[in-house]
Structure 1
Amino acid sequence: MKDKNNIKLDITSLIGGGGGEEGESSSSSSSSSNNNSVNSSISTIDTIKIGSHRDIKGDELFNLLEISRVPREDDIFVKEFGLKSIGTIGGICLLIGNITGPGMVNISYEFQQGGWILTTLGYILMLTLSSLAGLFIIESMSTIPGNSRFQLRVEFTMICRFYFGKWGYILSQFFINASLQITNIASIIICSQVMDSIIIFIFKKTCGVSFSEGWVCVSHENANTSPFSGTMFFTIGYLSIIAVIVPLGFMNLNDNIKIQTACVIIMFIIVTSWLIIFILLGLDASNLPPIGSINGISQILGNSMFNYAFITTVPSWVNESKPNVNLKKSIWVSSSISTCIFILIGVFGGLAFSNMSSTSDILSLINASSKSNIFSKFSVYFFPFIVLASSIPVFSIIVRYNLTQNRLMHPRYANFIAILLPWIIVIPFQTGDWLNKISNYSSLFFNSVANFIIPFALYLKSIQFKHRNHISNDQKLILQELSFETIDWAENDFIQTHFKSLTHVPKKYSKRIAQISLIILSITIPIVIITNFYFNN
């Protein structure tokens, strides 16, 4: 047996990338009995040195670090995370549901104001950047030793802790969870208002408890905000969506997939009905200029970026995907289908309606059109509820995952913050729109950092990690904690080599693409925030 001071590990083998830019095959098999002797010899080593002479298979690192693959015997803990049961269709529907959202109703106006050429290019650009961000964060996950085929349970914030360290972990917890929670707060407000409108549409009135007037009922809708004018403690619409949505937040991500799939199917049906109505109304090329106004052009990237804020859900989706899911294709298919939907609604809606105002959206225009019917009216009412309500439990679950992994917070407190706190915050603001406006600006800031800046920065740090000559004590402890928290060790059998974001692009060019993307986003995001604030005011 070799002396422990002479033992050196090949980092590219440890992370499954062995031998070159293109990546080599990584093994997920258990180490042999010979490696058990290595375990005992290095058990006292504080920092594991990494060289280039000892070829160790990827998952043998767990033996070298004396890490067990046995999860904690804790029933409560086991229930915190889902198993690898999300298939290809379910995963694609989950991602599409997180990409398509409330921004869809204003896309036709954006195309008219910005012009169809530049707006289309803006959406294609964000399609590319968001897909790359998703793929790069997946590759960063696979670079973590022992996770070459996604055997470990690694949430977004834990990836940040592994590569960024303690302070990066704290900042990432703040930005990632804030972006998800702010989006949920805005969604809850809109869903509550829409549900009250649905109740009026069906039952001719809705009721609630006002802070100043007590029990009140209304029978008329408000086109922009809640049907109620006063500050409400609760409304029937608010209580209705609590009863439907909150229980879903206590479930795991894989348990919500059937609901996500159903909502995406309904969304496809509604969008198809819209396109038919657009065609029946008549398409006029003069309604949609190729190049729009300065005001419209300045807001193209901000509007399109808002629609592609789905990357925060990617690590949790990867953790619970079945071992035969093609992750790379799922990312590209989801983002491409969503982009096609955006462009179709933008172009056909822009051609069908003339001189759209900043306060108009597809829902109100369809409802007021001559081709409106009972189905279109139902789609107008249910579309915001379908696209928003389905995403609220997903974001709550991901916040809970981030807060409970590494035992950062007890499940009881994590559930309160992730699931219940947003519903409490919105109570005094159910009938107003100013909190929603604030949420939009803060969401733009937090979402852009969490969904675009952090993933590219993580990828660049993962490349640096490959070239380092040691694994720190903190990273060793992280790997131990991840092994305890992994309750499903199934490996992605579709991946025969180390996961590579851009298969036919050399690693050095992938790095440059990430660096250029990060620079572009670092310049663009502040401009987007400033222009949105300036022109909207």
Structure 2
Amino acid sequence: MANPSKIGYLSGVSLLVAAMTGPGLVTVPLLFQTSGWITSLTILILVSLISSFSSLLLCEAIGSLPGNEKFTKRIEYSNLCEYLITNRYKRAFIQIIVYLAIESFIIASIILSAQSLDSLFVTFFGRTCGISISPDSGWLCTEELGDESSPFGNRWMLLTAGFMTTLVFVIPMTWMRLSNNAKIQIVSFTIIIFVIFAWAAALILHGVDPSRIPIIGENQSQSVGIVLFNYAFITAVPSLSNELEEDGSIRKIVWTATSISTFGYITLGILGAMAFDLDLSTNIVTSIRKSELRNTFFGFSTYLFPFILLISVPINVIVIRYNLVRTGFCGENLAIFSTILPWFLVIPFQSVEKQNMEKKNCMV
């Protein structure tokens, strides 16, 4: 009988798929347009294979530690660094890089989720409001969806209704155990599968033009960075393995999750690139909403996307907390700060231009 405090096959696959298919779903079509389909397909497949093998080799290394054959010691990614790297400065440097990498994914997810929820509020309630910093300061409401990702355009916003809604929903889930949160990820997984097929149908109905995707694009600078960013799930694998059911197969979970995620990236990447002319200020969500499909079933499916991001954010926050606590870097109470810090870091990046700067940095 399944142990309710452990992670099973379905919840494990759901957790890893959610960790891989957050902000990346809306950015991959731009990759196909700028880098070309040969480069994009090659890198997506190679990185998915490399990430899968790396994750499994990491599990082998953790499982080979004395007394941890069945992952009873709950060794995290940072713990393994302590075993293998004796120089404390190098070890600290690696742990800082890992922490920043996870935080960058969390920040990107929060931004896209908040912007999508603000757009949803405008559509269903006629407006969304927030506190503006510049160029207008004070309480500000907007009733229109512009061409940018955020209804507030390029204004500097301190808080928005979408941001606060994201905060209220996400923070309680970050205090859970990973095994409890993994069960919630089954809901996210179901939505992800539905959204992939709904968006694929919407893009086909809108009309696709293969000439929008070059064989080999003129700009290859973004190709490796954006794909690596999407497959940066390896730090979650040790935490997953520690809470996996005794008869669970981490190999089966990893290969299933990466296969599903890669299928989603390739499907939406090719169809999205053939359907719309994209740039750094737009993505397939905003493009579908501005198309003739915006008031159809397929158009409304775009409003499910922020809920995918909402549910997936806690995964990385929990992984950070586990690594901080189990390495002895800090106690449980201080580690809670790691669940709050990203929300402060998000504030300067809520405007469109700042978000695009962040995307560029992630792609380099």
TM-score > 0.5, shorter chain as reference: yes
Structure 1 residues 97 and 410: alpha-carbon distance in aligned structure 2, compared to 1, 3 A threshold:
same
CA-atom RMSD, angstroms?
2.5
Count of residues paired in the alignment: 358
Q: Which residue is 2:166 aligned to?
A: 241
Aligned-partner Cα distance in 1 for 2:326–2:191 = 34
Gaps of 5+ in 2: none
Change (3 A) 1:308 1:431: closer
1:62-90, CA deviations, whole angstroms, 9 ceiling, x for partnerless residues?
xxxxxxxxxxxxxxxxxxxx995100110
Q: How is 1:253-268 mapped onto 2 (pairs within 5 angstroms)?
A: 253-268=178-193
Unmatched 5+ residue regions in structure 1?
1-81, 445-528, 530-537
Secondary structure of 1:234's aligned partner: strand
| 2:131 maps to amino acid | V
- TM-superposed CA distance for 1:306, in Å, is 2.0
Answer yes or no: is 1:436 the counterpart of 2:355: yes
| Cα distance, 1:264–1:223 mapped onto 2, change above 3 Å | farther
Query: Distance between the aligned counterparts of 1:197 and 1:282, measured in 2?
Result: 24
Between the aligned partners of 1:106 and 1:441, the Cα distance in structure 2 is: 11
Paired AA for residue 318 in structure 1: S
Larger-Rg structure: 1
Select which of 321, 330, 344 maps to 1:424.
344
- Against the structure 1 CA distance between its residues 275 and 441, is the aligned structure 2 distance closer, same or farther, given a 3 Å change threshold? closer
Instruction: Find the residue that maps to 1:153 and give its secondary structure.
Output: coil
Question: Which of residues 303, 317, 323 in structure 1 aligns to 2:226?
Answer: 303
Deviation digits for residues 130-163 of structure 1 (CA, Å, limit 9, x no counterpart):
1111111111101111112222211110011011
Q: CA deviation at 1:318?
A: 0.7
Equivalent residue letter for 2:10: I
Answer whether contact 1:173 1:402 (CA < 8 A) is retained: no
CA distance in 2: counterparts of 1:360 and 1:146, whole angstroms:
51
Q: Is the 8 A contact 1:209 1:234 kept in 2?
A: yes
Distance 1:294 1:320, change over 3 A: same
2:331 aligned with 1:410? yes
- 2:128 is the alignment partner of 1:206: yes
**Structure 1 segment 278-317 matched on structure 2, within 5 A:** 278-289=203-214, 291-295=215-219, 297-317=220-240
TM-score, normalised via structure 2 length:
0.89
Aligned-partner residue type, residue 301 of structure 1: V
- The 5 A counterparts of 1:91-490 are 91-165=12-86, 166-211=88-133, 213-228=137-152, 230-289=155-214, 291-295=215-219, 297-351=220-274, 353=275, 355-357=277-279, 359-383=281-305, 385-416=306-337, 418-427=338-347, 429=348, 431-440=350-359, 443=362
Could you report, residue by residue, the CA deviation over 1:308-355 in whole angstroms, capped at 9, with x for unpaired residues?
11111111111111111111121111111111111112223344x265
- Cα offset for 1:285? 4.1
Greater relative contact order: 1 or 2 (C-alpha under 8 angstroms, separation 6 or more)? 2
1:75-124 CA-to-partner distances (Å, cap 9, x unmatched) read xxxxxxx9951001100111111111222223233223333233211111
Q: CA offsets, 1:374-393, max 9 Å, x none?
A: 3223222331x133222221
Query: Structure 2 vs 1, CA of residues 439 and 114 (structure 1 numbering), >3 Å: closer, same or farther?
Result: closer
TM-score when normalising by structure 1: 0.62
Structure 1's 423 and 328: CA in aligned 2 closer, same or farther, altered over 3 A? Answer: same
Is the CA contact (8 Å cut-off) linking 2:281 and 2:352 kept in structure 1? no
How far the C-alpha of 1:237 sits from its partner, in A, is 1.9
Q: Would you say the 8 A contact 2:276–2:287 is kept in 1?
A: no
Query: Identity percentage over the alignment?
Result: 32
